[in-house]
Structure 1
Amino acid sequence: MSLHTSFPLASEIALAHSQSVLTLIKEQILASGGWISFEQFMNLALYAPGMGYYSSGATKLGSAGDFVTAPEISSLFGRTLALQLAQISQQLKQAAILEFGAGSGKLALDILLELEKTAALPQKYLILEVSAELRQRQQTLLTSEAPHLMHRVEWLEQLPDPFSGIILANEVLDAMPVHLAVWQDDAILERGVIWQNNQFAWQDRPVHDTDLYAICSQLTPRINPDNQSGLEYVSEINLAAAGFIRSLAKILQQGVILLIDYGFGCNEYYHPQRNQGTLMCHYRHHAHDNPFYLPGLQDITSHVDFSAITDAAVDSDLTLLGYTTQAFFLINSGITQILAQTPIEDITRYLPQSNQLQKLVNPAEMGELFKVIAYGKEFTEPLIGFGTGDMSRLL
């Protein structure tokens, strides 16, 4: 079945918007000599000012959007995360919180309300959000649900420098533009996008970026350990995510960086059998693998290589504090105790929360695919979230 017949129909306004994004990307391709890297394509489709998926006004989260994140599934997620943040805060001289890509604002709200209960509120809860539409949603939600805490919340346009405290990013790394690499016999190519027959099409070219080529060369033996001929292997290289971690390390004086996302360590990410990579698109709760479909209206993501993130972190004088599944992290941090605060006899409240907990920790749902990783600077205290189930050896 084709995408066009199986997906929900876009409105005329949405289609016109997508056509504008398509035209923008086409013009960029033509201005660049007929070819752009996929990283450039993904950057324009997601972040072109006022037009890209994250820069325009379309609803992204929840039932009316394209995907659902853990904070949208249940307040249990943010409330449990708050317990880990409270433990970290106790060890810090300054314990501000900086959240990247705060979505609807639900995670910030749940964290702040839980920290208020334990008298562990940060002096400042900073939010750095690239989407004007999401920033507006965050402000509306927090103003309406926690007006008494608004004096602690501040929206930023750029990284604070310096910063001490906790840096939090839930499902941020997966939306960073990636390069597509192609290993073909002895050649290493970069897969880019051309405009052909009135539509986008793939075209592979030799890799010109020296950093990209160096990483691809190191991965070659892992991708084709038996040195088979005729093998084509396609995967993603996320230079932006490594750069992001280096930027955070530069501004962090003392504190912890906590990242939550779906992905693997390097050996699993670039497994010989994962020869089509991890690129995934989300449109109205339909997942598929065609990034050319309705540019500007759909999310484009790739899984995170947590080994590459850790290499960048350690090279930037950060210390790995733990790496585990979302399930282990939430259970270690106390999610079952938070659920137990709702009496089991109160079926109308307890049962939905119990079902939500299962979605967050069940291996078949979010429990195993999503990972939590933490890095510290001037911070060595063991974190409660990594008490059992630490998988740092897999990085």
Structure 2
Amino acid sequence: MPVREYVSDLVGLGVTAGLTFTFYHFVKAGKEVVQHLKDVPELDIDVNLVERVRQEGGGAAMGAAAAAAAVAAEGCGCEPGLDACVKGTVKALGPAIQSLEYPDVTGVMRRYTIQEHLMSQVMGFWMNDRLTIDSTTTNVPFMLLRKGVGVQISEPKKLEDVDMTVVSEKFNATNNSLLDHLWGFMKGVRTTGTQQTEEMLVEGTAVMGIGRLVLRDEGLHLDPNQSIPYLLTTRNKKSVIENLETPLPYLRILAGLTACGVIFYAYRLVSRWVSKWKRDRQRREETRLLEEARAQWRRREGGSAETEGGDGGGGWDLPENMMCVVCMGPRDVLLLPCRHICVCGECALRLDPRACPVCRTHIDTIQPVFFS
């Protein structure tokens, strides 16, 4: 089977299969993360938390479930600990970061973003757009403090999401000249201004931290973990779970649509291969019947391969209405369903497309005939 005849179907099958696997993987991973997060307990930051983490993470009184969790943590490269959601207020471990616009506002993380506001022409309509020119994030070591007990955030740069407060926002409008307006109209893009935004995780903000609690020599730490998100948020646990579950139905729909594409292309490939196999089998059968009919005619007429001549009608003395319209040899087959007798067997088998040369009707069957 020539592969080039099936390239489009093979490409379609590969693309849809890859997309189906990708969407299925996203759905499965999302469900696992949501389920893990639902099982994660919400714990208060107090002196009892230290003892609980010590027991769960490898203390003398560690139970079988905790031991299994510790073994799994060692297998994934994590320190023994406890997955948990903890709530506390943000407190810097050293000098805090001061706001650029309001020095009396201090925090532990700051994101400073410069964006260019644009008007872009899309299909004849002008639409607002933003282009980020620069974005920098700085942070200092900090912890979540409650009841005199702190949980240090081990790796702030690995936090997947942090709910920050907009401390200052300044927009500088662009004074465009008439020439600038004309040039922007011709390009389809016009600059309207520049916006500078400063966001901070302010000290004293009550947040919930999600991650893996680990007890080290210097105290409790909140580390990232592969099974649950690593984030600081002002929302509650239920809101975080709902936010993670929101895209899953749409991913299931996309996975279902691409799976239908896999079925469609697989069906096309199989049906085309079966059709080609049937055509080849039919042509082999027609060739066999034609050879048998000619051999029978030779035996009956006493002819031979040499007396039949070849293409172009050599060796034959036939009227024009008995000659093959392609090679001028003798007409010896009936084309069905149109019932025309206009070609020889060899030409009938080589017709491409498989249509009658006289009426262009599709040929279903080639039937040998005899003239006596």
Q: TM-score w.r.t. structure 2 length?
A: 0.21
Q: Which has the higher strand share?
A: 2
Higher RCO (Cα < 8 Å, 6 or more apart)? 1
Which protein is bigger by CA-based radius of gyration?
2
Q: TM-score w.r.t. structure 1 length?
A: 0.20
